[in-house]
Structure 1
Amino acid sequence: MSNLYLAVIGVGGVGQAFLSQVANLPSTLRPSLIFVSRSTKQLYNSSYSAVNASDLQSSSSKLLSLSELSSYLSSAPGKTILVDNTSSQDVADSYPSFLSAGVSIVTPNKKAFSSNLKLWNDIFSAVDSSNGKALIYHESSVGAGLPVISTLKDLIATGDQVTRIEGVFSGTMSFLFNSFAPADGSGKGKWSEIVAQAKDAGYTEPDPRDDLNGMDVARKLTILARLAGLKVQAPDTFPVQSLIPEALASAKDSSEFMQRLPEFDGEMEAYKDQAAKQGKVVRYVGSVDVAAEKVKVGLEFVDQGSPIASLKGSDNLMCFYTKRYVANPLVIQGAGAGGEVTAMGVTADLIKALERLR
């Protein structure tokens, strides 16, 4: 694929897994890697010849700004795909410029598709005006490697009408509530203990408040709602229930937050007991009511035996209710986080882009 070129920003956990997966693609499918970047290092050359990602650390290449990178990639002697494995808002904001320059984008970066609605519109306007020269794929911005976005797009493209989307969109929240309030009633640990276990096991961000504030779920719901046709302005424009006790919102760091969290175990225990009295279990659920144009994220009491209540471990679960799937929704379930599965979604998107650009 000598006329197809690949540029990669971000070589952390997802980025490393992605590069490894790309290296194992058949040579007939693998594009030429011409640019690799991390926060303080870049590797490329003026001749657009292939580079080896392992040489990045010792690279002395001049650092290009995002606008300079756009010019560099758009001048390559072939078609270029930029893979953004970061969560950078600055990189996301530059997508319209890259796309307008004919550079395709593959990314798991949620911020590009869940920030203000203008950025969303600018991104897809740039794609439309490129007449097929620039593509964008972002399957892994929701559900890691799970086929969530592609399934939703297929439902809509084939004439189905999506009425409701709901599910558990966070591997962290899934683990917390499946451990704290399992459907079989076996959960005995206190909420703060479960959060500490999740943090120690790497299921939460270094500061668990970044998960417990619900904004990660809100961003995913924003993306799905927009794909379903709702003009959601931003993830902070609909109800999002934070699980951070108000008194701990200003804790100076993660250590202080975790140290004081046991003071508030009673609040979560009350939710658990209230759900049990109704024969239900408490879960952290995101939902999009397309007909009512309402999006919300927060605690809900769900029936035991339902798909959401029956989740195990840190799995995600998304239910699509449509005119075709009325009583029994189309359900997608599986690991919704992790470097390897997220990278798999990115690599699969890369393959789709390569096939269309060939």
Structure 2
Amino acid sequence: MSLSKPNILLIYTGGTIGMMKDFKTGTLKAFDFNSLLEKIPELQLLDCNIKTVSNEPIDSSNMNPEYWVQIAELIESNYNAFDGFVILHGSDTMSYTASALSFMLENLAKPVVFTGSQLPIGDLRTDAKENLITSIQVASLQKDNKPVIQEVCLYFEYKLYRGNRTTKMNAEHFEAFASPNYNELAVSGVHLKVNKKYLFRSDKNEVLKVHKNLDNNIALIKLFPGITETVIKSVLSTPNLKAIILETYGAGNCTTASWFIELLKETISKGIHIINITQCSGGSVLMGHYETSNALKKIGVISGRDITTEAAISKLMYLLGKNISNEMFKTTYEMSLRGEMT
């Protein structure tokens, strides 16, 4: 591997960024990434070698844990041959995939940058070119022959975020993503400014370990005023259910109705984990801060603190797949493993 010119692997998984408009018919068609340098000659200005590969492109609405494993295996099999990875992905579930990969790739010491676009790459006003070019530039950043970025990130509309801190906020604007509880890792303007103090660094100097066993026997319950006992019971009685993410109000608050608390208590006694996260886009769960969350703390509900829903779900699948004991599960979930919690 050349130390002077980084090698970047561009992985196309699907999404709008992989489409081009046929100007004769006006229809969208798949973009041939093998001719990437021909279509986007600006990439030749980047001081890196780029190789492309497609991973059975799908619409991101069809994304699932099996496909996450395929992406992880592509990175695993090419890890020693490349200095960085850029993953082109549909924006709708990009935060889920970026979060999942952050947990699956333990001891990651190279950049994995997710990006996509709101408009196809051949559209007159497309955001695809800038997102793609800067993502590759970010992935190729080095200092002393080592990658500057050593984590799973998401780049969109001039900002680089920690992947497991992001959520899609807008389906129409170019600024589609936000990281409500964590600063941007880098901002692209006239210059590319990296906020080095916010970058993730593993304490361990160990080889990459890829976790492929994800358990999706989980459920997500979003509380709302008037939610009924029947609805809660139907979810809690799901066969093979192992854990539940509870989206509560504000700083982790919920109804104090006795039927609700008793149902959760009974569920926990069966060995089913319950994680408390906030419905708010920003802020953190503080169980016990208000009386309306004190009961959850007493019965052993796990605090998700300021984790996003996307990261909460993928972290849960990851930890369930590791078969951690019930005694250790709460402690482990409440720890920040990949910088997903403050």
Q: How high is the TM-score relative to the length of structure 1?
A: 0.27
| Higher-RCO chain (CA-CA 8 Å, sequence separation at least 6) | 1
Structure number with the higher helix fraction is 1
